[in-house]
Amino acid sequence: MNKTKGCLIANFATVPFLHIYSQDVACYGENLAYFPKGFIENMFFVSANPWVSFTSFDLNVANMDNFFAPVFTMGKYYTQGDKVLMPLAIQVHHAVCDGFHVGRMLNELQQYCNEWQGGA
């Protein structure tokens, strides 16, 4: 993982993700608990709804005290002119994050997208 400008960007190509994932499936694959490995600090949730392009998305987490993990939800990408756009909803708890942090993360994400597309 790379720590840059206060944001942590994971490069899953350099992480032994598949090996760890395979071990977890073998160990916890039949476990139906929400957190079979126990609660992990410094985690975040990523979900995708690739069938819908949205302008707003809200996720309500019930019966979980002190839920502070950020949640990122991506929607269906689409083209608009010569741009490829994808909705991204970010839900954070203000007790641990504010707009300044979200703004920094979004600016860095945009830079990565521009570089990937061959832009700026």
Give catalytic residues, as residue numbers: 94
Task: Confirm if 5 and 105 have CB atoms less than 8 A apart.
Answer: no
For the record, the structure tokens of 120 come out as 């700026």
Compute the distance between CA of residue 43 and CA of residue 46 in angstroms, rounded to an integer: 10
Phi-psi region of 88 (alpha: psi -120 to 50; beta: other; left: phi over 0): beta
Q: Classify residue 108 by its DSSP letter.
A: H
